[in-house]
Structure 1
Amino acid sequence: MSNYWLGLDCGGSWLKAGLYDGAGREVAVQRLPLHALSPQPGWVERDMTELWQQCASVISKLLAHTGVSGSQIRGLGISAQGKGLFLLDKSDRPLGKAILSSDRRAMEIVQRWQKEAVPQKLYPLTRQTLWTGHPVSLLRWVKENEPQRYAQIGSVMMTHDYLRWCLTGVKSCEESNISESNLYNMATGQYDPRLTEWLGISEIDSALPPVVGSAEICGEITAQAAAITGLAVGTPVVGGLFDVVSTALCAGIEDESTLNAVMGTWAVTSGIAHGLRDHEAHPYVYGRYVNDGQYIVHEASPTSSGNLEWFTAQWGDLSFDEINQAVASLPKAGSDLFFLPFLYGSNAGLEMTCGFYGMQALHTRAHLLQAIYEGVVFSHMTHLNRMRERFTDVCALRVTGGPAHSDVWMQMLADVSGLRIELPQVEETGCFGAALAARVGTGVYRNFREAQRDLRHPVRTLLPDMAAHALYQRKYRQYQDLITALQGYHARIKEHAL
């Protein structure tokens, strides 16, 4: 009887379950769309009970589709969105709706903390910036706005911690994710009560579950979970991965010569560092990586291809092929139309919002689509340029995510950045990375380094057109000038509001 490993990936829009055989080959992937709730402007929530039901359903459907028995699954891992807030009450029941990382309700709290220089106080210990989607920001919001709910908090978790608890009945917080929560001291590898004290949420210290490693077996499938998923009672479940870490792992990022760009709802640029540095040019975000002594360093904002998905949903159900053909039909950097990809947040200031600038009657839908492609790439450049100050030997950018399937978009990224673009031929990096963690945890590999060496994927390469690079550099400078002008506009509005 063959053995298999199962990887779950819970993202912003989709829940996926992937099945992998003993050689690490993908057998099948089952997908379910996820729906976020937005009861008020800037709020992004998810029903926790419904999410668990969908998780059980996607596993059950995967097993039914493949004909694989639950007893053949040797281990399971979960990769998921980072940040956000999943709460259980003191009786281990979901406490209200989960709040997702793209939620902006804590904006005023973060702005207050910025005025009080709280981020500067936290950073030497946490190596994190402080923004609205962090668990600590959302916890403070709950404390100030829903004190009765705050008083009932029994456990603080994030997405894959919650789903792992549903599967195993064991509470824990996985290290690659919790290390980027502002609850965790990067130097000690533990929670630090000074952090919650400075943030005014020290009441939740006792509600923080133990920290577990990505490949650490931290529970087994319960009889209740087995009954609705089809998995076997006692199947090992490992800690899993923050999805950004899973992607870097699957992309084969091992040293400081290559960066990984993830293009999805979030624009994420990551690199792997061999230790922490002090007094850097920017407050880079660090997190625990899967290999001892290594850290993932990244820059991120929700400014990527989610903007295109919104546009196509509102203005016509275009196929990806039709969009690419439309963009490719126009000269590179040929228009003065700009798009600011800030529908879900910004990397240019908390007040910045989304929009087109420079639109004229001569512009067609193709021009709008080209501007979206360019705006997303320009926004990625904000992060890439900062990261290249930290990773000075970079010669290639390895890209994953939906836009990586578009040669038009990837060539634009090569032309704008001037870097060699490498496209790993691996699908569903969240599922595969989670299954890889399960394979390490169940002893197939001694560690993740060994797993990476054994499971390399082909890489396709695109080289920059340096003539186009010069054209795009001019337009990118204009984009930066537009951002600067709008920052001045928002600053004046704030002055007049005082």
Structure 2
Amino acid sequence: MSNYWLGLDCGGSWLKAGLYDGAGREVAVQRLPLHALSPQPGWVERDMTELWQQCGSVISKLLTHTGVSGSQIRGLGISAQGKGLFLLDKSDRPLGKAILSSDRRAMEIVQRWQKEAVPQKLYPLTRQTLWTGHPVSLLRWVKENEPQRYAQIGSVMMTHDYLRWCLTGVKGCEESNISESNLYNMATGQYDPRLTEWLGISEIDSALPPVVGSAEICGEITAQAAAITGLAAGTPVVGGLFDVVSTALCAGIEDESTLNAVMGTWAVTSGIAHGLSDHEAHPYVYGRYVNDGQYIVHEASPTSSGNLEWFTAQWGDLSFDEINQAVASLPKAGSDLFFLPFLYGSNAGLEMTCGFYGMQALHTRAHLLQAIYEGVVFSHMTHLNRMRERFTDVCA
């Protein structure tokens, strides 16, 4: 029998399971849509139990569709959306809903920190900006607004850490993701208690799982997970990757001469650096890369395809072919209609919101779609231009 490897990708909108042969060739992919909950303005949550059920379902469907048995899978890795907050209580049960990185409930807290110059204090150690979707911002919000929940925190995780725990029963925070949490000292490669002290959340230090490597075998599929997924008990599971890092890796980015742009829920432009740099034009976000001595550097905001997905959901089912045809039917840049793609916020300002501007009776659905395309593309261009100030050897 042939051997295969299984990859799981959990983004903002879709959960995908892919099957790959020994040469890295894609054999098949199964996907399921993910549902975000928004019980209050600015809140973006996910049901943790439902996510695990969907994870089991998409893996099971992949194996059934391909006819591959669980015993043929040699290993599994997960890439996932970064930031946000997945909490377990002290009995290892999901503690409320997960909070996603596009959530903005912690805006007042981050604004307070900005007035107190906390981001400037953190950046030399963490190489992170400080915004509403960071685990630390959300933890502080839980502490101030849900103190009983805060007192019950047993483990602090992010998306792929939680799914890996569901599969293996072993806790860990994967390095490429936790390095961008404001809990991690980029120079030492470890948690730094000074950070939680400055942020007023030092009580959670004991709830931070060990940092694990991306390619490190962190555990094995449990008998319970095997029954749900169809995988064989004992199958090794590696740490995985923050999805921004995985896209750079899959794009073949190796040095400072090339940048990678991703149009997902987030607009992300990333590059690979061989060291940390000081006195840069912008407070670029750094993170641990898969190779020792290298760092991923990126500019990003939640201003990409999530805007289009929200819009099309309001109009009923529209295929991408229909959308592309509608946009292509109009003159390029020929409309006075503008769209600001800040449905889930922007890194340009905490309080920025979304909107159409210049709308008149003559505008049709096609004009609205065209404006969304333009708004998203210009947001990407903003990130690209900033990154080219850092990566001066890039030719485009």
Q: Place the TM-score, normalised by the shorter chain, in its bin.
A: over 0.9
Q: How far apart in 2 are the matches of 1:32 and 1:314?
A: 20
Q: Is the 8 A contact 1:110 1:131 kept in 2?
A: yes
Q: How far apart in 1 are the matches of 2:352 and 2:125?
A: 29
Aligned-residue Cα RMSD (Å) equals: 1.1
Q: Which segment is superposed worse, 165-174 or 29-38?
A: 29-38
Larger RCO (CA under 8 A, 6+ residues apart): 1
Alignment-derived partner of residue 424 in structure 1? none
Q: How far apart in 2 are the matches of 1:51 and 1:318?
A: 25
Alignment-derived partner of residue 284 in structure 2? 284
Q: Which segment is superposed worse, 216-225 or 329-338?
A: 329-338
Q: The residue matched to 2:279 in structure 1 has which SS?
A: coil
Alignment-derived partner of residue 185 in structure 1? 185
Structure 2 gap segments, 5+ residues each? none
**TM-score under structure 2 length normalisation:** 0.98
Give 1:232 deviation, angstroms. 1.1
User: Which 4+ runs in 1 deviate beyond 4 A?
Assistant: none
Give 1:311 deviation, angstroms. 1.6
Q: Which segment is superposed worse, 132-141 or 59-68?
A: 59-68
Q: How far apart in 2 are the matches of 1:365 and 1:230?
A: 44
Q: Which segment is superposed worse, 165-174 or 219-228?
A: 219-228
Q: How far apart in 1 are the matches of 2:29 and 2:137?
A: 35
Give 1:41 deviation, angstroms. 1.1
Q: Deviations over 1:307-358 (max 9, x none)?
A: 1122222135332122222222222222222110111112331111111112
Q: Which segment is superposed worse, 327-336 or 382-391?
A: 327-336
**Aligned pairs for 1:308-457 within 5 A:** 308-395=308-395
Q: Deviations over 1:96-118 (max 9, x none)?
A: 11111111110100000000000
Q: Is the 8 A contact 1:6 1:20 kept in 2?
A: yes
Give 1:145 deviation, angstroms. 0.6
Q: Is the 8 A contact 1:4 1:21 kept in 2?
A: yes
Q: The residue matched to 1:258 in structure 2 has which SS?
A: coil
Q: Which segment is superposed worse, 287-296 or 50-59?
A: 50-59
Q: Deviations over 1:39-79 (max 9, x none)?
A: 11111111111111111111111111111111111000000
Q: How far apart in 1 are the matches of 2:228 and 2:373?
A: 42
Q: The residue matched to 2:270 in structure 1 has which SS?
A: strand
Check if 1:21 corresponds to 2:7.
Answer: no
Q: How far apart in 2 are the matches of 1:316 and 1:56?
A: 29
Alignment-derived partner of residue 41 in structure 1? 41
Q: The residue matched to 1:108 in structure 2 has which SS?
A: helix
Q: Deviations over 1:122-168 (max 9, x none)?
A: 00000000011100000000100111111111110000001101111
Q: Is the 8 A contact 1:14 1:32 kept in 2?
A: yes
Give 1:184 deviation, angstroms. 0.2
Q: Is the 8 A contact 1:167 1:220 kept in 2?
A: yes
Structure 1 gap segments, 5+ residues each? 396-498
Q: Is the 8 A contact 1:347 1:379 kept in 2?
A: no
Q: Which segment is superposed worse, 198-207 or 48-57?
A: 48-57
Q: Which segment is superposed worse, 265-274 or 360-369?
A: 360-369
Q: Is the 8 A contact 1:86 1:98 kept in 2?
A: yes
**TM-score under structure 1 length normalisation:** 0.78
| Greater C-alpha Rg | 1
Alignment-derived partner of residue 275 in structure 1? 275
Change (3 A) 1:316 1:50: closer
Aligned residues: 395
**Aligned pairs for 1:19-418 within 5 A:** 19-395=19-395
Which structure has the highest helix share of the two? 1
Q: How far apart in 2 are the matches of 1:208 and 1:393?
A: 39
Q: The residue matched to 1:287 in structure 2 has which SS?
A: strand
Q: How far apart in 1 are the matches of 2:46 and 2:317?
A: 25
Between the two proteins, what is the percent identity of the paired residues?
99
Change (3 A) 1:318 1:57: closer
Q: Deviations over 1:249-280 (max 9, x none)?
A: 11111111211111011101101111100111
